[in-house]
Structure 1
């Protein structure tokens, strides 16, 4: 940084000196310079005439010299030039200041000084950020700090381009920061240095699986299939294979790999539940879903006497723990008892399917004006929390009123 400023100041000084010299030159100096040039030209021309006479090229030497003298005299002005007053040397100060301002502005715009300052600050903070990241008991880095750390790590790798561990770390940072290009390029560099590292291959495959580019997905499939020959029971490989097949809408193959994983996962573990939901969603997408909840809705005697003419029946199914519905159905009032069927097509969100639940609770409410929000004195019924096996029947009696 200091060298850049030194060069800039030297250039500005040289330019300012040149301007000052040109503006401060007196008219007499220009006249003297002209006379010197004319004299040199006259003498050179005389030598050429003498050489031409010796060679017999010219025969009228006297006339040529006379004409040359007339030409020299014609270049001398009749009156000496008047001195031009420039108003003193201080008149140059604005010119020099403008030159400096323009030069500095152009450098700030194109010279990258702000980026250099930011990089310098990142390099100063990098050791402390790395220490925090490597310490499991330290405060976690924010997303902004992770971006700073990634920038500092890239700068460090310019000096240590063969550091496999740091290239792998930069690739994982790219995944965390959702920067697929950074992650992919970093893992490629790491694999170039350690081509047989199975963990690096798996990390790189995960980047390719996450990519929205179908070509990357196909490359991931080839890489994972090759690795599965060597590591047939690797849980992470099977998970990535299933996810990649699911992304390519090959649902039956994805289900097959997920089902291979289930025996090795503890019942009730978050990973097992996620895989079970993935299987059910894949079945739904492939048209293989057979899970159903058969409901019978009836009214108490009191509810029948107060049944509104234009009411709407809302049915919501939860997992008995979270109030967020797993499935919802809206039907106009008709005769009771009412029989209906709910399945994954009634799911509120694709991530929480009815078929993936292990227990259910059903709530049926009659809205007098069709409002989805419960209102005072609306009649409703609530079932107990019941284990769900995938094909089940439940009965709900509407016998209570909203307080």
Structure 2
């Protein structure tokens, strides 16, 4: 940083000296130069007349000489000399100021001074951010602070390029920051320094599994299968392999690895439920799912007396936790009791299928004007949350009014 300023000041100094020399140089007397040229021309022409007269070519020498003298006098200025000057010394001040201003503006635009200042601040904050990150009792770093810490970590690795732990930390930061390129490059560098580290291989494989590039997914598959030979019951390897095959739409392989993983997971655990949902989703995507929900709907006596003539019946199914439906069906109002079937074709979004749920809650509502949004005094019914086994029947009684 200091060297850059020294170079800049040196260049400005040279520019100012050059301008000073140019402005301080005594200008040439252009009128005097013209007189010298006219005199030279007069002498040369007079010599030619003398030579012509000697050879007898001219007969009116006196008249020619007189005319030449008149021509010379006509070219002489009224003043003996006239000096053209470029300016006075005070003109140097604004010119030098302009040169300095333009130079500073160009440096600020292209010299990276702001980046240098930001990097300097990052390097100052890095030790404190690292201490907070390593201390489990300290306040967690925000996403912005993690981004700043990753910049400081990269700067630190330039001075210590063989630090395996810091390269691994940078890779994991890349995963947290959703920067797959940073994570991949950091883990590759770490693995070059520690090629047999199983933890680094697993982390690198996870980055490749998350990648949208199919080539990265295939590379992850080869790496994970090679590791699984030596660690056949490793839950992380099995999970990553199943996720990798699922991303490649090889659902039967994904199901196989998930089912191999299930015996290692505690019943009722969040991880086991996630794996079971993954299996159901893979079966659905592969066309192997036959889950169906039969809904039986009836009306209370009060609701029967107040049915609208042109009403619409909405059936929505949730998982009993989130209010966002996993399946919805809309049909014109008709006779009751009514029985209908819902399956994955009624899903709201492909990522949340009916077949992937383990518990369900059904809501049936009669809309007077066909609006999907509940209106005041709409009649509805809601059953209690029930476990879903994949194919079963649930009943709902419409007996309440929307407040």
Q: 1:250 maps to what in 2?
A: 250
1:334 and 2:306 aligned: no
Distance 1:254 1:81 in 2: 101
Q: 1:385 maps to what in 2?
A: 385
The DSSP-based 3-state class of the residue aligned with 1:380 is: strand
Q: 1:301 maps to what in 2?
A: 301
Alignment coverage as a number of residue pairs: 356
The DSSP-based 3-state class of the residue aligned with 2:309 is: coil
Q: CA deviation at 1:87?
A: 4.6
Distance 2:302 2:173 in 1: 63
Q: 1:317 maps to what in 2?
A: 317
Distance 2:204 2:322 in 1: 37
Q: 2:179 maps to what in 1?
A: 179
1:28–1:81 CA contact under 8 A, matched in 2: no
Q: CA deviation at 1:316?
A: 1.6
Distance 1:155 1:400 in 2: 65
1:375 and 2:375 aligned: yes
Q: 1:223 maps to what in 2?
A: 223
CA 1:81–1:221 in structure 2 vs 1: closer, same or farther (change >3 Å)? farther
| Unpaired stretches in structure 1, ≥5 consecutive residues | 31-77
The DSSP-based 3-state class of the residue aligned with 2:97 is: helix
Distance 2:251 2:376 in 1: 46
2:378–2:401 CA contact under 8 A, matched in 1: yes
Q: CA deviation at 1:83?
A: 4.9
Mapping 1:14-53, distance limit 5 Å: 14-27=14-27
**TM-score calculated relative to the size of structure 2:** 0.83
Q: CA deviation at 1:234?
A: 0.9
Q: CA deviation at 1:29?
A: 11
Distance 2:87 2:380 in 1: 98
1:228-258 Cα deviation digits (max 9, x unpaired)? 1111111111111111111111111111111
The 10-residue stretch of structure 1 (379-388 or 200-209) with the greater mean CA deviation from structure 2: 379-388
Q: 1:159 maps to what in 2?
A: 159
The DSSP-based 3-state class of the residue aligned with 1:293 is: strand
Distance 1:346 1:232 in 2: 39
2:299–2:399 CA contact under 8 A, matched in 1: yes
**TM-score calculated relative to the size of structure 1:** 0.83
| Unpaired stretches in structure 2, ≥5 consecutive residues | 31-75
Mapping 1:118-133, distance limit 5 Å: 118-133=118-133
Q: 1:232 maps to what in 2?
A: 232
Distance 1:374 1:283 in 2: 34
Q: 2:170 maps to what in 1?
A: 170
Distance 1:207 1:361 in 2: 37
The DSSP-based 3-state class of the residue aligned with 1:166 is: helix
Distance 1:102 1:401 in 2: 75
1:300–1:399 CA contact under 8 A, matched in 2: yes
Q: CA deviation at 1:312?
A: 0.8
1:26–1:83 CA contact under 8 A, matched in 2: no
1:100 and 2:95 aligned: no
Distance 2:29 2:132 in 1: 71
